[in-house]
Every structure is written in structure tokens, then in C-alpha cells.
Structure 1
Amino acid sequence: MNPAVNQVARPAESPGPERAVNPAVTPRTAFPRVLASAAAGWALLALPGLFLSGAWWPWLLPDLVPPLAFLAVPLALLALCAVVRDRVRRRRLAGALAVLLLAGAGRAGVNWGALVPGGGPAPAPATALRVFSWNTLYWDTTDDPSAIHRFLRAKDADVYLLQEYLAREDGKHTEIDRSAALRAAFPGYEVVVRGELVTLSRFPVVATPAVGPGQATDDRSVPWRERFERNKVLRTDIALPGSVVSFYNVHVPVQLDVERSPLSGDFYRVVRDTDPVRKEHYAALLADVRANPRPLLVSGDFNTTPAMGDLDGLRGALADAATASDEVLPVSWGPGPLPLWRLDWTFTGGALRVHRYALTDPGGLSDHRGQELLVSPAPTAGRAGGR
């Protein structure tokens, strides 16, 4: 008997569920989808900010992203596009990411001039003024009281613009009085204090006009708390040989309370309520500098990054002093040893030239780097010494 004759034909076995393959989803097709999703997610963060930053208070929170991310993320995703084999998909992804890269280039805080050989500032004349601007982090209340004086004297500046002349006790900002020690440490300097702001000058201070909300607090009978909250700009007009220069010492209120949980309503209430306060100080500062015909310097802690629209008015009216720096990425604040945010700025106007700009180590006394500058008014025939 031939066993083949009696063998019953069996139908072909179909693969079980574990062996089924969806031809539409393979590693080759899944990766471009993941990459496209990542690009879309970044676009939802990056593109609306071009219109909402500085205009809508909730966008103060997305604006907290480290500004360098506006370059780093699109560049990283562009590099991953090389893995996509499908030429059409690769081109579409690369095109979309190139748009995101261009949109973020101006928000990343890069000092593009530092990449240009021979593009540095003009040499400083012998009469150039040394300026040091710094957020002290609660003055000397968290350090050895003599350390801040040693640190500041070592800078040998002609003008000091200092913020956070105050203490923090039980979660509240409180007044301090170090005027006697300050004058003893800096003999020959004029000392001007308004709220939490201190300006020291080797040259005569000829005027201290109030700016913005602080105009209502010149009366010393006003409680310190009100003076602190309303005075976020201290203008001092200083007489230099041949000219008067206006120096604006600035500390814009921070937009959030890091001690509150993001899961609480109070966290977002603080952001909402602080936004109009910030706008009021920015508007007053901008109005004052636009009306000021003198050479001027605006410097301090703005609690505002290069990605944020809050600075657009000042950046449009004045020159960023960081263009005189050799740092490609000038950053001034961040937890730990690697700062990622630039919150401290200096702007100049009225033909005030910047010959040097550097962000310097705070020596462990603050979480903000200091701003060191060499500046001089441009020579002008017939310049008067006053206004």
C-alpha cells in the first residue's frame, strides 16, 4: 500500500496571533511617525510663543524653558532625520524642522557676533567708566557680612548697580539698614537707595528722578513694603567729565513663586497677578528711556529670558551690551554649576559705547553672575554737562 495515496490533504496552517504582522507598522515606518510627533509637539511649544509671549500671562510658564532649547531641539531632530529612509518623508520633516529652527534662532539667546572673527567692540579710552551690576541675593544676610564688601571692592567699579538690598525672613521680604557699613566700605562714593535697589557712584549724582510706580513713594513716611513693591527702577543721573549719563538700576519682579506647588491654584494666581505688575514696570521704564535725551545705561535683574516677549520694547529701543562680549551663550542664572538662563541684562542708548561686557562668577555669594562693563559716552562736539 502506498501511504501517500491514503494521506488526507491538510489545509495550510495560518499563523497564530503571535505571528501576525501588521505590514503598516514596521521599524522603518514607526520611527518617522515618532519623529514627526516630536516635531509637532515642539512646534506647539515654540510657535505660539512668537505671538503669545509677553501678551498672555499663562505663557510665562512655557517661557521658562531654557532658551538654548529653541536651537538644540530642532537641531537634534534634524540630525535624526538622516535615519529616515523614505526620501519624501525625510524632506518634509527636514523642511518643517528648518522652519522651527529659524523661528527659534532669535529666541535662543545666542550672541551671534561672538562667532564673527574680528567683530569685537572698539578699544576703550582711558576715561572709560567701569560699571558693575549684580543681584546680591539678599545682600549680606545669607553670607559673612564682610564678604560682600570685599567682593564688591575687588571689582573697583566707578558705578555699582545692586539689587536685593533686603532680607528674607519667614518667607517675607524685610527691610535692612547697612548704610553706615556701606559708606565706610566705599569712602568717596555717593550712595543712593530706593526700596531694594542701591546705586554707588564715584562721580556726583545730580538727579534721582522716580520712574513709574515709584513716583508715589518719595515720601519717606511711606511704609518700606510699599516702597519695595513699587520701586523696581532706580534712575541716577551722574555727572561725568563733559556729560551727564543716566543709569537705570532695575529689578523686575519674578513671575512665579517657586515655593508654591504647581498643583495648587495659588501657584497660578501668583503668575496671573504678577504679569500686570511686570508690564507696568516695563512700560514705565521704556517710556522714561525714550524721553531721556542723555546717554544712558539700563542694567539689572529682569527675570526675563531671551525667549520672552516682555523685553521686546527695550530691545527695540536700546542696544544689548552683550554684543560686546566674547561669550557665544551669555547666561547669568541657573541652579547648580551650569547656568542655563540669562535673566540679567544691560542695555545702552544715546551713543553710550560699550567696550567690554562680561558675566562674572559671584564667588558663592549669589545665584546670579555679575555684569562687568567698560563704557564711555561717544565724543560729541559741544556736548553740555547738564539738562
Structure 2
Amino acid sequence: MSAVQAPVGTAPVAIRQDPAGRRGGVGAGRAVTGLAGAWLAFVVAHRLLSGRWWLWLAPELIPPLAFVAVPGLLFVLAVVAGRFHARVALLAVAGLLLGGDLAGLNLAVLRTPPSAPPDAVRLVSWNTTVWNATDDADVFYGSLTARHADIYLLQEYKPDNDPARRDADLARLRREFPGYQVVLRGELVTVTRFPVVAVVALPADPPAGSDWRTDYWEVKSLRTDLRVRGRIVSVYNTHVLVPLDLSSPLRELFYRRRHEFFQRRETQYRALAADLDRNPNPVLVAGDLNTSPAMADLRRLTDRLTDAGRASGSAYPTSWTIGGRRWWRLDWTFVSSDWTVHRYRLRDARGMSDHQVQDVVLSLSGAR
């Protein structure tokens, strides 16, 4: 307490600090510290549980940018958190260091990819979202042929129960691509101008004569071995199952199906990783993986291959659209060291799909 000299005949006036204001600052500091600690705990839990525990499927769908945005916001709050600011800043930095690589940022954005040679291969991969069921057929097929790609990896080919309609679409696809070979398993279609020397369905190839629905559930990666520039290369057309369905969490079905989907995704990723490990050929994996940069499942590929998106020229590549906005990336292309990626672009699907079109230019280089 301090006092100032009052005029003669008056009592001294005491100037006191406001206890309420001090308590408010302390309370705000504690709240921010609690938020920073909670976020760090979430990141640690995510690192431990993502891809390992089926009940973590919902939390791991957090927008990937949150792993840099939340620590950044906490660091800003630390500046105004009074005497707690150092503690908040330390927690925020720890959260950023532990989770920053999950945000999906492309740190190679400033690097210029090498120019493509004349014999470079052009690849298109696209989740067509139920083929052309709701699209003008001429526009749909025209959008494919206009890409002038050497290899097309297409997902969600006619997931319905009308065999005649599926067969008609397949006949038109062959007419639209004269000189190409068409390989089909369930929902996966590979169209290539290179000779096909072998076909492998993963996790398993259903027995001959199985219906389309069985093929749809059992085949989630379609490997075609192609003869490209005198070498045999393996191209994997992949569509991993969605992490969970959208039924009500108040129903038992929600949790039963979440566990089922987790197990199916695990089977699909394990089969793909095992085939990659025993495959001596140059490899390329592309498709809709239904896996964001924040999900640990992606490590099955990033530990083995290189993300072609490093050549995208975008600091934050995004491929999945909701409500007209692209939010994060679910569509990927990975390559072995035999390939050099010269260009990677995510093209507008013109309203025909909620997935962007992956457009990749690459060439064969050194040995694997």
C-alpha cells in the first residue's frame, strides 16, 4: 500500500491494486495453461493410439492443420497470460514439435522439380464418386480422355446392383480408350497404354464367378505389373475403406461397425505393405486412401515410399471437398526411389466427384 500527501485538513488517500483484476489475470493464465496441457496430452494420446485402437478412429479425424494452428494460437495467448506465459509457451512448443508433422504441410514447396524428359509417364488417379451415376456420361468420359494420360487409376466403378449397366459402361470405356488395356476388379479400374504382364488383387482375389459386391469388399488394391520403357513396374490402384460410417453414436451399430471398419482397414493396409515389401519391381501406389496426413495408417506407406505430392507446388495440398471447399488430403500417390516425380497437381473434378483428380508426371530413374 502506498499513500500520497493529501491537502491540509483531509485524510491521506490510499491507492490499492485491484484484487479482482489480479485474480482475473491469474485465472486466465491458469485456463490457458490448462488448455495447453490438455492439447499436449491429446497429441501424446494421438501418437500412441492412432492406427492402434479402434475407438480412436473418431478423434483421429481431427483436421490436420489443427496440429500447427492450435499450438500457434496457444503461443499467442501465452503472450497475454501474465506470469504463466513461459509455461504456456513451453507446452505449446512441445505440442508443435510432437505433432507438427501431422498437419499435412508440404515442406518441399520451394523446391523446383526437375524437368520431365520426352518419355515421361503421365498418370491420372481419381475417385470418381460412383462413376457417372449422377453425371452427364459424355462430359464424364470426355473429362477422362482429355487428360491424355498413359495410366488411369479409377476408383468407385459402379457400386450398384445393375450388371447390365456396369457392363455397358465398361464397353464404352473400352471404346473411349482404343489401344489401352482395361483391368477391372470390383470398384477398381486400371486403364493403361502399357502392356499388362500380371495382375494381383489385394487383400485377396475372390474366387472366379463371385458377384460384384463380394469383389467390392474384398479387393481394395489392384496391382498391375506393366512393361514400361523396357522395365517391369508395379502400379497399385488403391481405395482403402472409410474409417467409420455416419450412423448415430447412440446406437450399438455405430460402435460395431467402427470396430469392423478398423479391422478391414488394418487388413487392407497390411496386405498392401506386405506386397510392397516382397515386390522387387519399381512401385507406384495411388488412389483414395481415406487417410488424412494426421492418421498413423499413412506411415505404412511413408516409411516405405516417397510422397509424390512433394512436387505439387502447394504448401498444403488438399484433395477432398465438402460444401465446395477443399479441406484436407485423402488422395495420395507414393513412389519408390526408381521414380522421379516432375509434376503433381490436384485438378478440379468439375462437380463430378468430391475428390480432386491426381495428375502426375514422372519418369523411371535409378534402381530400387
TM-score in terms of structure 1 length: 0.86
Give the Cα separation in 1 of the matches to 2:207 and 2:361: 31
Encode CA deviations 1:222-256: one digit per residue, 9 max, x unaligned. 12211110000101111122212111000000011
User: Paired residue for 1:203?
Assistant: 194
Give the Cα separation in 2 of the matches to 1:60 and 1:176: 33
Give the alignment of 1:57-96 within 5 angstroms: 57-86=54-83, 89-96=84-91
Encode CA deviations 1:42-79: one digit per residue, 9 max, x unaligned. 23322201111011111111011110011001101111
**Does the C-alpha gap of structure 1 residues 218 and 241 become closer, same or farther in structure 2, counting only changes over 3 Å?**
farther
Q: CA deviation at 1:175?
A: 8.2
- Report % sequence identity: 43
Number of residues of Structure 1 aligned to a counterpart in Structure 2: 350
Secondary structure, counterpart of 1:192 in structure 2: strand
Unpaired runs of at least 5, structure 1:
1-20
User: Paired residue for 1:34?
Assistant: 31
**Does the C-alpha gap of structure 1 residues 174 and 24 become closer, same or farther in structure 2, counting only changes over 3 Å?**
farther
**Does the C-alpha gap of structure 1 residues 369 and 174 become closer, same or farther in structure 2, counting only changes over 3 Å?**
farther
Contact 2:26 2:82 in 1 (8 A): no
Contact 1:68 1:109 in 2 (8 A): yes
**Paired amino acid for 2:127:** N
Q: Which region of structure 1 is more displaced relative to structure 2, 31-40 or 47-56?
A: 31-40
Encode CA deviations 1:97-155: one digit per residue, 9 max, x unaligned. 100011111100100111x3xx2222111100000000000001011122210111111
Unpaired runs of at least 5, structure 2:
1-17
Is 2:232 aligned against 1:253? Answer: no
Give the Cα separation in 2 of the matches to 1:358 and 1:142: 25
Give the Cα separation in 2 of the matches to 1:257 and 1:173: 26
Q: CA deviation at 1:342?
A: 1.0
Give the Cα separation in 2 of the matches to 1:83 and 1:368: 41
Secondary structure, counterpart of 1:148 in structure 2: helix
Give the alignment of 1:69-218 within 5 angstroms: 69-86=66-83, 89-114=84-109, 116=110, 119-168=111-160, 176-177=166-167, 178-212=169-203, 214-215=204-205, 217-218=206-207
Contact 1:191 1:198 in 2 (8 A): yes
Give the Cα separation in 2 of the matches to 1:256 and 1:194: 23
Secondary structure, counterpart of 1:340 in structure 2: strand
Give the Cα separation in 2 of the matches to 1:305 and 1:175: 33
Contact 2:284 2:335 in 1 (8 A): yes
Q: CA deviation at 1:359?
A: 1.1
Give the Cα separation in 1 of the matches to 2:207 and 2:145: 29
Encode CA deviations 1:171-192: one digit per residue, 9 max, x unaligned. x999833111101111111111
User: Paired residue for 2:363?
Assistant: 376
Give the Cα separation in 1 of the matches to 2:207 and 2:182: 16
User: Paired residue for 1:359?
Assistant: 346
Give the Cα separation in 1 of the matches to 2:114 and 2:251: 52
Give the Cα separation in 2 of the matches to 1:245 and 1:208: 12
Secondary structure, counterpart of 1:375 in structure 2: strand
Contact 1:45 1:62 in 2 (8 A): no
Q: CA deviation at 1:289?
A: 1.1
Give the alignment of 1:220-231 within 5 angstroms: 221-231=209-219
Q: Which structure features the higher share of strand residues?
A: 2
**Does the C-alpha gap of structure 1 residues 163 and 175 become closer, same or farther in structure 2, counting only changes over 3 Å?**
farther
**Paired amino acid for 1:141:** A
Contact 1:175 1:224 in 2 (8 A): no
Q: CA deviation at 1:23?
A: 5.1
Give the Cα separation in 2 of the matches to 1:187 and 1:24: 78
For residue 301 of structure 1, the aligned residue among 284, 288, 307 is 288
Secondary structure, counterpart of 1:306 in structure 2: coil
